[in-house]
Amino acid sequence: MVKKIVILGSTGSIGRQTLEVVEQFPDKLKVMGLSAKNNIELLEKQIRKHKPLAAAVWQEDKASALKKRIAGLHTEILAGEEGLNTLAAQPEAEMVVVALVGFSGFKPTFTALQADKEIALANKEALVVGGELIMAEARLRNKVIRPVDSEHSAIFQCLQAGDAKEVERIVLTASGGPFFGWGKKELAAVQPEQALKHPNWEMGAKITIDSATLMNKGFEVLEARWLFDLQLSQIDVVIHPQSIVHSLVEYIDGSTIAQMGPPSMLHPIQYALSYPERWANALTRLQWKKESRLNFAPPDLETFPCLRYAYQAGEEGGTMPAVLNAANEIAVEKFMEGQLPFLCIPALLKAVMVRHRSKAKPTLEDIVGADAWGRENAKKILQKKRSLI
């Protein structure tokens, strides 16, 4: 049986790799919709190859341009936020792969769920900012959200070896990023090019910077909390520089189940699409025939405080994680533009969090409001005080 899917964010790193998986299984997967922010050159190629019913472009002028370029094809072109949400609820699709970057993934995820779609979620921010809302909707509709993140895919797989109530804790592994083991002195001079070189994973720019600050791991903690219905105290993080063990579940009887694999996103993407089945593929396998070593170490929360801030935002709850995420999006943007030193990223996040009064049990509008508030205040602080530390 062919599964009909929509890919939101098909020109990004995860979106492109999702299409690679689709191409390997033409009898199992069919693309019904694609979307891009502004890369219409690539989107056009994807449309010509996969012939989806519809494609959405975030930037409205780019949508018009694309419409002309593919005149004569049967793919309908949608534009802007409305277009993206229309695509997320496309009646012909059974599953929506959310591969959007940052806060922009939140509303389309919610829309797709409300339209009763299966969700393969590569956008952790959706759960970071709106986990409570999204999981309530998923429970209501009896949907299992399939994680695409390698760590959450690992946990998702390991959880099959026991019952949910038999979980003692989970341990998320973190490569530690390019600056593992560095001190504050060395970090002070870090340039964007350095932060963009991840030792193990090829990913988009935003998540690569978040990996370097450990903010990404912090968001993963918050994502895991909602996805697997855990207390924050049940979620640990361990640095594992080789990125072979993708995460672990420890059960109440002291048995630990780990999921391992080469550091490639193709594996977890495929599992999100194939679940509950597994499909044979020709992807890389782990090699056990030669000597190898796996290292583990505790994270350095003093030098990389973003991870700690995520736990704090999670404890506070309500709109605080949305504000943390918003401030971080601004901080990363400014860092990449060369306008904010690396060590000022956490400093900015802290300054914004301190100012925010969290609202409990936020509605969708509260979350959208908190996101705007966080961005605005991050910018304000940056204007007032260019040097934060």
Beta partners for 95?
5, 118
Count of CB atoms situated within 10 Å of the CB of 102: 23
Residue 279 binding its own copies, by CB under 8 A: yes
Candidate list 38, 256, 312, 358; residue touching its own copies; CB under 8 A: 256
| Tokens (6 digits) for 288 | 């056990």
Instruction: Give the number of residues in contact with its own copies, rule: CB under 8 A.
Output: 50
Q: In the complex with its own copies, which residue's Cβ is closer, 284 or 363? A: 284
Q: Least CB distance from residue 158 to its own copies, whole Å?
A: 7
103: DSSP letter: G
| Alpha carbon distance 243, 315 (integer Å) | 28
Quick one: 104 or 270, whose CB is closer to its own copies? 270
Residue 96 bridge partners (DSSP): 6, 119
From its phi and psi, is residue 176 left (phi > 0), alpha (psi between -120 and 50) or beta?
left
With binding defined as CB under 8 A, does residue 245 bind its own copies? yes
- Binder to its own copies among 261, 318, 346, 362 (CB under 8 A)? 261
Handedness of CA 173, 175, 179, 182 (dihedral sign): positive
Q: Which stretch binds its own copies (CB under 8 A): 33-41, 110-118, 263-271, 329-337?
A: 263-271
Residue placing its CB nearer to its own copies in the complex, 283 or 372: 283
Taking the complex as a whole, how short is the minimal distance between the CB of residue 115 and its own copies, in angstroms? 28
Q: CA triplet 193, 195, 199: central angle to 5 degrees?
A: 110
d(CA 152, CA 106) in angstroms, rounded, equals 18
23 binds its own copies, rule: CB under 8 A: no
Mark residues 126-165: x for contact with its own copies by CB under 8 A, - for none.
-------------------------------xx-xxxx--
Gyration radius (Cα) of the chain, Å: 20
**CA dihedral sign, ordered 337, 342, 348, 353:** positive
In this complex, which beta carbon is closest to its own copies, that of residue 205 or of residue 238? 238
Rule CB under 8 A: say whether 120 interacts with its own copies: no
Cα 388 from chain centre:
28
Q: Which of 1, 71, 286, 354 binds its own copies (CB under 8 A)?
A: 286
How many degrees, rounded to 5, is the angle at CA 199 between CA 8 and CA 207?
30
User: Could you say which residues in the range 37-56 bind its own copies, by CB under 8 A?
Assistant: none
Query: Does the protein bind its own copies through residue 1 (CB under 8 A)?
Result: no
Comparing CB distances to its own copies, the nearer of 132 and 236 is 236
Is 310 an interacting residue with respect to its own copies (CB under 8 A)? no
How far is the CA of 233 from the CAs of 76, 125, 170, 222, 242, in angstroms?
47, 20, 10, 11, 25
Binding site for its own copies (CB under 8 A): 157-158, 160-163, 166, 168, 171, 236, 238, 245, 248, 250-262, 267, 270-271, 274, 277-281, 283-286, 288-298
